[in-house]
Chains A and B, each alone.
Chain A
Amino acid sequence: MTPDRTPLLIGSVAIVLLIGGLWLPQWAMFIVTIAFGNGLVALGLMLLLRAGLVSFGQALYYCLGAYAAGGIGRFFGISDIFLQMLAGALTAGFFALLLGFLLARYRGIFFGLLSLALSMILYGLLVKNQALGSTDGFNILPSTLFGIRPGPEWVRYAVLASAAVIAFVLALIVHRYLRTPLGRLAPAIKDNEIRVEYMGASARRAVHVKYVIAAVLAGVGGALAATTVGHIDPQMAFWTTSGEFIFITILAGTGNVLAPFAGALIYGIIHTTAYDLSPNTWQMSLGLALLVIIVFLPEGLWSLFRRRAWR
Chain B
Amino acid sequence: MDQLLSVGVDGVIYSAWLFTAALGLTLIYGVMKIVNVTHGSFYALGAYAAASLTGAWLARGYPPMLSYLVLLAAALLVSVVVAPLIERAILRYMYAKDEVVILLITYALFLVLEDVIKLVWGVNPYYIAQPYALLGSFTVGGLAHPTYNLILVVLALVSGLGLAWMLNRTRVGKLLLAVIHDPEVSRAMGINVNRYYLVTFTFGSMLAALAGAFTAPTVSVVPGLGVEIIVLSFAVVVIGGLGSLPGAALGAVIVGMVRSLSVHYMPQVELFVIYFVMAMVLAFRPRGLFSLAEPRKI
Contacts and interface: CB of A to CB of B under 8 A. Distances in A.
Interface of A: 52, 54, 102, 106, 108-110, 112-114, 116-118, 120-121, 123-125, 127-129, 194, 239-240, 243, 246, 250, 280-284, 286-288, 290-291, 294-295
Contacts of B119: 280-281
B99 A123 contact: no
Contact of A280 (B123, B274, B276): B123
Given A240-B227, A287-B108, A121 B116 contact: no
A102 B107 CA distance: 26
Interface string B231-251: 100110010001000000000
A121 B275 contact: yes
A120 B231 contact: yes
Contact of B115 (A52, A246, A280, A294): A280
A276 to B, nearest CB: 15
A291 B100 contact: no
- Pick from A250, A280, A288 the residue with the most CB of B within 10 Å: A280
Nearest to A195: B298
A89 B90 CA distance: 40
Contacts of A127: 271
B196 to A, nearest CB: 22
Interface string B265-282: 001111111111011001
A54 B275 contact: no
B282 A110 contact: yes
Contacts, number: 121
Interface of B: 35, 90, 93, 98-101, 103-105, 107-116, 118-119, 123, 227, 230-231, 234-235, 238, 242, 267-276, 278-279, 282-283, 286-287, 298
Given A117-B278, A240-B227, A290 B107 contact: yes
Cβ-closest 8 pairs across A and B: A287-B111, A124-B271, A124-B272, A284-B115, A287-B112, A290-B108, A120-B275, A128-B268
19 contacts: A52-B100, A54-B100, A106-B282, A109-B103, A120-B275, A120-B278, A121-B276, A124-B273, A125-B272, A128-B272, A239-B230, A243-B107, A280-B119, A284-B112, A287-B107, A288-B108, A288-B112, A291-B90, A291-B112
A246 B112 contact: no
Given A128-B268, A246-B107, A284 B116 contact: yes
A114 B283 contact: yes
Given A120-B231, A280-B119, A291-B105, A113 B238 contact: yes
A120 B112 contact: no
A116 B282 CA distance: 11
A189 to B, nearest CB: 14
Contacts of B242: 109
Q: Give the interface SS of chain B, mostly helix, strand, loop or mixed.
A: helix
Contacts of B111: 283-284, 286-287, 290
A180 B123 CA distance: 51
Given A281-B115, A291-B109, A109 B104 contact: no
A179 B46 CA distance: 51
A239 B111 CA distance: 13
Given A124-B273, A291-B109, 20 more contacts: A110-B287, A112-B103, A113-B234, A114-B283, A117-B235, A120-B271, A120-B278, A121-B275, A124-B270, A124-B272, A128-B267, A128-B270, A128-B271, A128-B272, A240-B227, A283-B111, A290-B107, A290-B111, A291-B105, A291-B108
Nearest to B283: A102
Contacts of B268: 128-129
A97 to B, nearest CB: 16
Contacts of B271: 120, 123-124, 127-128
Contacts of A294: 101, 104-105, 108
A164 to B, nearest CB: 30
Contacts of B105: 291, 294
A280 B105 CA distance: 21
A283 B114 CA distance: 7
Nearest to A240: B227
- Pick from B93, B103, B108, B275 the residue with the most CB of A within 10 Å: B108
Contact of B104 (A54, A102, A113, A194): A54
A288 B114 CA distance: 12
Nearest to A280: B118
A127 B286 CA distance: 27
